[in-house]
Each structure stands twice: as structure tokens, then as C-alpha cells.
Structure 1
Amino acid sequence: MDHRIEKTVEKLPKAKNVNAVWAELDRRMADGDVSFLGDLGVELLRRSVPGSARVWQYESVLDRAIRLLALAPGGSGVEQLLRLVAGEDRSARKRARYVASLIASAQDADALRPLFRGARSGAGASNELRACTVHELVVRGIGLTDLPEALNWASGPGIGRHPLAWLPLRRSEPESGADLPSYSVQGSTSSLPFGPINEVVRPLPLRSGQFAALASEAADLSSVPAAVANWADESNGRIEARAFDLEHPLDEPDIPQALLGLGLDCLAGHSRRTDFSVARSAAGAAWSVLFAAASSGGAYNHGLYGAYGRLAAWRSLGGLAGAGVDTTASEVEERAATCGWYRFGAATPWYHNVAWDIGLATLDQERTRVTVLAATDTD
């Protein structure tokens, strides 16, 4: 270990800022000294073991090193990056999700090939980094034919019982509108396809009517909140997921009034004239909203990134469409296509009306069950 690295890391906890260390990393990367970044990152990880005190300076410098290595032109930093995401413990798996999103956004097939080198344990990348990279590529619409090593691993026994194995190895039509982040060494940007009520366009007219409905005892709602669970677990979010069985089939013009009559917490205190709106949507548009919520996160977290964000979006889509938890991805897509999809917004006390507001509703093929997912978060 370079003694200069040890001295640099020892001084970090007392530093008021890390600008000088960032500049050193930038310079080393520009000079092609990727091993310095790898060594420094390994030392930072060694001192940031679970149970140790959180040191923001360590986290900031490690993130800079990871971004420089992951986004380096031509994949020159990938080999060193693998040292920083080795292991299968919780922190390593979380870091692998982040790194997969970075490298999938910036590197070509040749640069990613080292991840899938060798089949034995310890060769190439961890299974978590491999699986996440595969599905980060898929959700970006990047075919795996140029990276046969990844395709062979993901379609063979290598992926095993990994949670992401449920996902298809192709991007489906509903996923074509996925909003994906743009990364740089300085940070990232992404668009959010949800927000306050005034972003709901072409609303359905609100007309009067009475509709008999009971909370559904048969509906399985366990997967409905999957895409927004991170808002509640890691930020300030709240979620409402409910399903109702109707006495008679519901026609589309009656959807707005029916939603108001279901006793939803998210719509309590609405004013019919000014602060409630419902618009027709589609399964693909709903998937995009769910994917953004899952992958980008809420007000105070970074979300699940692309691979697990993709999985969570499909789980929520399947739950809203009434698909069982054991349903395949293709079956979820087919089931979703038979439903009526709607987006709603409301300026009620339940919603924060800042930037992270979601209202989705489905009407099943028989038009006798309404399933709702509402979520909101604030900074």
C-alpha cells in the first residue's frame, strides 16, 4: 500500500472539505494512474466496515473514485472498479447496483467484457454486479448480442435464483419510455414523469353518479407498492394501495366519480371543482411512472437504480393489473394490456404536491375491480 494513500485517508476525517483529494484523483485519472484510485478506494472501504462510525469524507472521496473509474473513456477503469464492488455483503451489493448503472450508461461491450470473465467463484465480477449490469443494459434498449458472455451467463445456470432472473432479457414495449439518468463525475440528472395535479393532462369530465363498491378481499396487493416502497422506507413518503370490487361493470366516463366515492385517504378533502383530475393512460405510461419512482427514488434517497427499479416497476404493474406474485413477466405484460389505465391527481392534505406525487388506477377486463396506487413524498 502506498504510504501516501494511508496518510491521505488518515487525515480525511478532520478535513472540512475534500476538494484537494478530489483534485488529486482527477489528476491521477487524467495521467492514467487508475491503480491509485483503486488502491485508495480499497483503503477507504477497509476503514468503512459495517459498525464503524460514518465518515462523510470517506463516502465523498470513494464516490468520486468510483465515478471516475466507471465513466472513464474506453473502460480503462473497469478492472480497478471490480476491486471496489467485490463481495456479496449488503453494502457491496448496494454499491454494485450503483456501479452497474454508471458503467452501463458509459461503457461499450468491450469494456464490460471483464465483468463476465470466467465462471468460477471469484472470477470476473460478483453475481450482483453481473445481474445488475445485464438489466441496466436491457432497460436502456441495448441488446446483449454484442456481449455474448453476458447473455450466456444471464440465460444459463450462472444467474441461478437471483431476484433479477425473473426479468426478461429483452426490453418490452411498455419499457420503451423509460427515463434513465445521465451521469457525470459531478453528479447525475434524470426526469421525473410525475408531479402535482397540474401536470395531469386531458382530464376525463367529472359527472355525477352512485357506485356500490366494497374493499376487495380477493385482491393480492402485496406487490402493488413495490415501486414506491423506497419512498416510505428511505425518505418521507407515504403510500396507499387498495382494491375495490364493484357491484356493476363500470364505464370509463364514470371513473372519476367512482374514485371519489371509494373512500381513498389520498382523495379525502378534495374539491371537485378545482383540485381533482383523472386522465386516461396506458400500461407503458404507468410503467414509466413506476420505474422512475423505483429507480430514481424520492426526495431523500437515490432509489434502486435501473436493474432493481425495473423489477420493482414490473412488480407494481403486475399488482395493479391483478396478476399473481407467481406470474411470469410475459403474463404480466399480457394481463396489463387488458386493463384500463388511469392517472389521477388531487390537491388534498394527503398529497404534498411538491414533485413526488403519484396516482394510478386500473379497471380490470371485466370492469368490476378498481385497483389504486397513490404515493407522495416531500423534502
Structure 2
Amino acid sequence: MEDAKDDLGGLVWSRAEQRAAEGDVRYVRELGSQLADRYASAAEQLREYERQLAHVVRVLALTPGRDSLEQLLQFLDEKRPSGHGVLPRFVASLLAEHHQVADLAATVFDRREWDRLDDLRACLFHELVLRGVDIDAFPPLRSWPLVRPGRHPLAWLPVDRRDLEADVDFPSRSMNGSAAGVPGGLPAEDRMDPPTPRTSERSALRDVATTDVHESIVAAVQAGDWGDCGAWVFMLDGAVAPEQVPALLPALRMRCVDGLGPTDRFEIAIRPVGEIWRLLFATASMGGMGNSGVQAAYGRLWAWRSIAGLSGAPAGASVEEVERRAQQSTWFHFEADTDWFHNDIGSHYGIAALSPDCRRLAVLAAMDTD
């Protein structure tokens, strides 16, 4: 098929149908083979360009100073490159980690320029809020909530850091590497492990989670692209004291405790809601194995959404309503030796939330293995 070497595209449009009609379908197959080879080569070249662009953006983002900021913003505004390494949420996270707040406020939040970078600004604003920046000390940051696009997904989030968000984890990045990890393992304090042997009788309670509630509860885990997760909601027959929850959980009809024997490990601790939020935030923002999550701004959003589903906040509730319900709920962190939990360190956990009236128990189980 020597004639296909010089003008492959022309042959596709001018000769393929004719050769097929003449019965020379082998010619058409060979034409397709050459196209597939060229496509694979071009796709690999495109991936290499994306890697190179991501590194250029990373170098500019990690180089302190207003000059590097201005060059980066001009490049992003003019060229609007694509690929994971140049996503606004990722670039914003790099900037928040490596630049002075005064430089970011004066440069990134100057809306007279870079008019197509509002998504970057929205992400960077919440990166800074979570890092404890005093927004009121920087006029461009203070005015951002007044001028930001109202329909942006992050507009629902509070413009100040709430008490339960005060102790969170961020990744550490350099020019050629990064370090991050989800806080794992149960704490030694506030343990409520039920005595063994436990009853092997399963509870008659049934999961009543609607699709919307289920999606809300697992939001942080799915955003972090973990391996698997499950969510359940049980309406209890009567009020259940927090002290009764550790014995109840292993008996519930949930995949995460299927096969748990009367003496198999089931460990549980009662936890402050801030520790639960920290775990959900790390899950979403830093992601599971083989990915880097959705970074802090969107990690914040999805952590709040999971908290809302677990605490039973109504659909469309404000941050203030979600926070109020979360603070009034009782929170548990648990682990178990079952087939569903693979029990790799830092890659599995269970969360349970008992409502303020002690009649609703919501559960989230997550695991991530390779």
C-alpha cells in the first residue's frame, strides 16, 4: 500500500469507498491500520505536550514573586491550556502553597486583567480561607465575595473558616514531586469498642437512604476517586443513646460489615465533628491511590456535602444549617476486619452519625486499594 504514504487523508476520502465497492476490502483494512498507527503516535505526542505544559505551569506557579505570577496569569488567560496539570483548582493550590498572600491578592484578584480567570480566583480564595488567611486584611480578597460569579459551585461555601475546619491537611509540592496522605487509623482516646463475643444476630432495620441522600453522603469519597464506598441511613425504632451505637453498628445490614464474626475485630471511637470533617476533606482534596484529588477548594465543598448528608440536613440547606446539625450530632469513626475493608493503612474507614434526637443513624464506609 505504497500509495497511502504521502496523502493518507486524501486516500481515505477518495479511494476507500471505491476500493470497497470493487471488492478490495483488504486495501481498506490496511488503510485503517495506517490511520490507527498515526493516531496512536499523535495521541502520545499530545500527551507529551500536556506533560510539558503542566511542568511549565508548575515552574511558574512554584516560583515566588509577582513577576512569575503575572507571567503565569498572562499565559493562562491567553492560551487557556488544557490537561489535569493546568486545571484552575490545581494551579490555585500550588499558588496558595508557594506565594505570599499580599502578592496573590494584588495580582490574581486584580479583575481589571485576566478576565477569564474567575474559576482560578474562586478556587484560590477558598484555598486561602482554609489556610487561615485573614481575608479582611487584604481589600482585593475582602471584595471577592461581592464581585464573584454568583452561580459558581463554590459560591455556596462560607467566606470564613469555620471552627470544624481549623485543623486540616494539605499536600506538599516541589518542582518534581509531592507528598500527601489521608489521616488514617483510629485514635487511642475515646474508644468505645464493644465487648466480644458480639451477637451474630442481624438487626431488622432497613436502609432508607434515598438516591439524593446517598449521593450526598458519598460525595467526598467519590470526588477523591476512592476504590469503593457505601452509604446507609437507618431510622431507629426509638431513641438510641450514643453508648449503644458501637453494639448496633456491627449488626446492621451493610456490605461493609458482611461476614463479621462475633470475635472479629470491630473498633470504634467517638470523635469530634472537626476530626470527621478533616478526614472527609483529605479524602476529597488529596484523593485515593493514583490520583491527586480535587484540591482544597473543591475538597472543602464535597466535605461539606458529605457532612450534610450524614447529619441529615435538608436539601438546599445553608452552610449555617449544616454546621448546626453537624455540631449537634454524635460522630463515630470505626474499622472492621471484613472482606469489604481491605485494611491497608490509611485507605479505609467507616463513619457514623447519630442525629440530635438519637433516632437517625447514617453511615459512610470507604476503602481504597490497588
Confirm or deny a common fold (TM above 0.5).
yes
Contact 1:231-1:238 within 8 A present in 2 as well: no
Instruction: Quote the offset at 1:311 in angstroms.
Output: 0.5
Report 1:197-346 matches (<5 A). Answer: 202-207=190-195, 213-216=205-208, 220-232=213-225, 237-346=227-336
> After superposition, what is the alpha-carbon deviation per residue over 1:286-336, rounded to whole angstroms, capped at 9, x for unaligned?
000000000000012110001000011011011111012311111111110
Moved more, 140-149 or 319-328: 140-149
Q: Structure 1 length as normaliser, TM-score?
A: 0.78
Cα distance between partner residues in 1 of 2:300 and 2:253? 31
Give me the CA root mean square deviation. 2.5
Instruction: Quote the offset at 1:356 in angstroms.
Output: 1.4
Cα distance between partner residues in 1 of 2:332 and 2:290? 27
Contact 1:85-1:92 within 8 A present in 2 as well: no
> After superposition, what is the alpha-carbon deviation per residue over 1:26-76, rounded to whole angstroms, capped at 9, x for unaligned?
xxxxxxxxxxxxxxxxxxxxxxxxxx7244433333232222211212243
Report 1:60-139 matches (<5 A). Answer: 60-86=51-77, 91=83, 95-112=87-104, 113-118=106-111, 123-124=114-115, 126-139=117-130
Contact 2:220-2:299 within 8 A present in 1 as well: yes
What is the identity, as a one-letter code, of the residue corresponding to 2:300? Answer: R
Q: CA, structure 1 residues 231+307, in 2 after alignment: closer, same or farther (shift >3 Å)? A: closer
Cα distance between partner residues in 2 of 1:67 and 1:93? 8
Residue 166 (structure 1) aligns with:
156
Q: CA, structure 1 residues 346+104, in 2 after alignment: closer, same or farther (shift >3 Å)? A: same
Cα distance between partner residues in 2 of 1:185 and 1:166? 33
Give the ranges of 4+ consecutive aligned residues of structure 1 lying more than 4 Å apart after TM superposition. 87-94, 198-202, 207-212
Q: CA, structure 1 residues 265+321, in 2 after alignment: closer, same or farther (shift >3 Å)? A: same
Contact 2:221-2:283 within 8 A present in 1 as well: yes
Cα distance between partner residues in 1 of 2:190 and 2:98? 37
Q: CA, structure 1 residues 107+288, in 2 after alignment: closer, same or farther (shift >3 Å)? A: same
Contact 2:223-2:302 within 8 A present in 1 as well: no
> After superposition, what is the alpha-carbon deviation per residue over 1:115-150, rounded to whole angstroms, capped at 9, x for unaligned?
12235xx63561100000000000111121233212
Cα distance between partner residues in 1 of 2:85 and 2:76? 8
Q: Which runs of 5+ in 2 are unaligned?
A: 1-41
Cα distance between partner residues in 2 of 1:277 and 1:304? 30
Report how many residues are paired: 320
Residue 339 (structure 2) aligns with:
349
Cα distance between partner residues in 1 of 2:334 and 2:142? 39
Instruction: Quote the offset at 1:93 in angstroms.
Output: 10
Task: Report the 3-state secondary structure (helix = DSSP H, G, I; strand = E; otherwise coil) of the residue aligned with 2:247.
Answer: helix
Task: Report the 3-state secondary structure (helix = DSSP H, G, I; strand = E; otherwise coil) of the residue aligned with 1:53.
Answer: helix
Cα distance between partner residues in 2 of 1:298 and 1:191? 9
State yes or no: 1:359 paired with 2:347: no
Task: Report the 3-state secondary structure (helix = DSSP H, G, I; strand = E; otherwise coil) of the residue aligned with 2:233.
Answer: strand
Cα distance between partner residues in 1 of 2:209 and 2:307? 19
Cα distance between partner residues in 2 of 1:224 and 1:90? 31
What is the identity, as a one-letter code, of the residue corresponding to 1:103? Answer: L
Instruction: Quote the offset at 1:228 in angstroms.
Output: 0.6
Q: CA, structure 1 residues 201+170, in 2 after alignment: closer, same or farther (shift >3 Å)? A: same
Cα distance between partner residues in 2 of 1:84 and 1:95? 13
- Indicate the structure (1 or 2) with the bigger Cα radius of gyration: 2
What is the identity, as a one-letter code, of the residue corresponding to 1:62? Answer: L
Q: CA, structure 1 residues 264+143, in 2 after alignment: closer, same or farther (shift >3 Å)? A: same
> After superposition, what is the alpha-carbon deviation per residue over 1:226-246, rounded to whole angstroms, capped at 9, x for unaligned?
1011344xx5x1110110011
Residue 140 (structure 2) aligns with:
149
Task: Report the 3-state secondary structure (helix = DSSP H, G, I; strand = E; otherwise coil) of the residue aligned with 2:300.
Answer: helix
Residue 371 (structure 1) aligns with:
362
Q: Which runs of 5+ in 1 are unaligned?
A: 1-51
Moved more, 55-64 or 348-357: 55-64
Instruction: Quote the offset at 1:262 in angstroms.
Output: 1.1
